[in-house]
Amino acid sequence: MSKARSLGWMPGAALPVVAAMSVAAAMSAAAMPARAGDLSGLVVGDFAYTRVPQVKPQALPNIDTDQYTFKVKGLYTFDDPGFGVQLEGQDNFYFGKKFELAHLWSAGGSIFFRDNKGTIGASFSYASVDAPAPPLFAGKDSVESYGAFGEYYVLKSLTLQAKVGGTTGAVGEASVYGGVGLVWYDSPDFAVHTELNFTSYTSANNWTNVKAWGEYLPFNSIPVSLYMGYDFVNISGLGYTRMSTFLGGLKFHFGEGYTLRDYQRTGPLEWTANSEPGANLKF
């Protein structure tokens, strides 16, 4: 009797073992982070309602805005750890006046270096509006944004973020800005985001923005996460002093990943150096 047969091994008995190993390997591959030469993507659809209350003594009217935003991001990872390049674009359907639609669209990209400790890089973008979008844009205009950003993965459950940059164009003609953020993972599939942004425009308008939202990936087999949050901005100038925004949406993740933390730390960048002065606006 052969040694194999003495151990109880039969050719047919190997099939269930091989099948089980194949399933385990497939599940492990799906959970792997982005690798060299990988393409990954992110598609976002969200809605935001902004309330801009009347301010005295100017006696300006209240403004209620609705924003419907569609975003697409594509990332190519050259090496892991190593460099990556990301391109992105968005179209924001902005109703600043009832039944009057303005399109705020933007396109840009980032180049960065990322490893298991964090990410550092630079971003640029071009944004344009095709119609008046009160209280922000009096008419057709454009904004160019550029800056540097970084993320530090302090713990498996904690990410720290920072960015600095500037804009040229509308909303005060030009600006400098900075922001800091924090992401806490209560579990690999539930994250709480908070951030603080300050933007100073040459027209003497300063925007101070505080934003927080929660995000949840209900099923690891379905790469769709849901989020809801609140955005508050205090403004000096423009005749208005504050805006409150309630927002929510869906994110469709494409590429390697298994948990929400995997997607956010190895997939397309969600924290870049693009300008985000407040009220769910991104330039």
* Residues 58-88 pLDDT 10s: 555 677 888 899 999 999 998 888 999 999 9
* Residue of higher predicted confidence among 240 and 177: 177
Report the alpha-carbon distance of residue 123 to residue 129 in Å, rounded: 20
Strand blocks (E) in the chain: 38-52, 63-77, 82-97, 100-115, 118-129, 141-155, 158-169, 174-187, 190-201, 206-216, 224-235, 242-254
Measured between alpha carbons, how far is 225 from 258 in angstroms, rounded to an integer? 12
| Average pLDDT score over residue span 204-224 | 93
Query: What pLDDT sits at residue 18?
Result: 37
Residue 28, pLDDT score: 38
The pLDDT mean for the chain works out to 82
pLDDT at 174: 84
pLDDT classification of 10: cutoffs 50, 70, 90? very low
User: In whole angstroms, what is the distance from residue 179 CA to residue 182 CA?
Assistant: 11
CA–CA gap between residue 200 and residue 207 (Å, rounded): 6
Enter the tokens of residue 113: 């270096």
What is each CA distance from 140 to 70, 83, 101, 127, 128, in whole angstroms? 20, 36, 12, 11, 7
pLDDT of residue 2: 39
